Structure formats: structure tokens, C-alpha cells
Amino acid sequence: MRRKKSYVFRKDAYYFKIKTSPRDITIFRPSKEAASDVFERYLSVGKKLEWLGKWTGKKFEEANTPVFQK
């Protein structure tokens, strides 16, 4: 039986997931700059990630993965 989802998304925050086994870890940051900075750091370590975007209360917007300059 599936566990009840007890996580409530914060409105106007940016989210991404760290793909781990057996469960994914969802991380949020209040600004896009902060979220993309943390996202880039996890990528540099070699983690598998999924960018979700900005939660508007009903759906995710700005779901394009951030582009980083080297």
C-alpha cells in the first residue's frame, strides 16, 4: 500500500528532485538563483537530478532545466 503524501509544496518556491533509490529527495529554495546554485552543485558532484520548476499552487512553471556557464 502506498504511503500518504504528507509533503505540502510551498507556493512560489523552486523545486528539484535528487533521484535516489528507493525514494527521491525533493529540495526547494525560495529564489531561482538559490535553487539553480544548489542544483549546479549537486550536478558537479555527479548526482542524478530532475528540475521541477516554480510551484504556483496548482502546477509547476518554468520547468526548463537551468543552463550553466563554465
In this predicted structure, what is the pLDDT of residue 11?
A: 93
Per-residue pLDDT for the chain (70 aa), expressed as one digit of tens each? 667 767 788 999 999 999 988 889 999 999 999 999 999 999 999 999 999 999 999 999 988 888 776 5
Give the separation between CA 62 and CA 16, rounded to whole angstroms: 12
Would residue 24 count as lying in a domain? yes
The model scores a pTM over 0.75: yes
Q: Whose CA is closest to 25, among 1, 52, 58, 61?
A: 52
Q: Is residue 6 part of a domain?
A: no
Q: Is residue 43 part of a domain?
A: yes
- Compute the mean pLDDT over every residue in the chain, rounded to the nearest whole number: 88
Per residue in 35-49, pLDDT tens?
999 999 999 999 999
Kindly list the distances between the CA atom of residue 48 and the CA atoms of 10, 12, 29, 52, 59, in Å, as whole numbers in the listed order. Answer: 23, 24, 18, 13, 23
Determine contact, residues 46/4, Cβ cutoff 8 Å.
Answer: no
Which structural domain range is residue 46 located in?
14-59
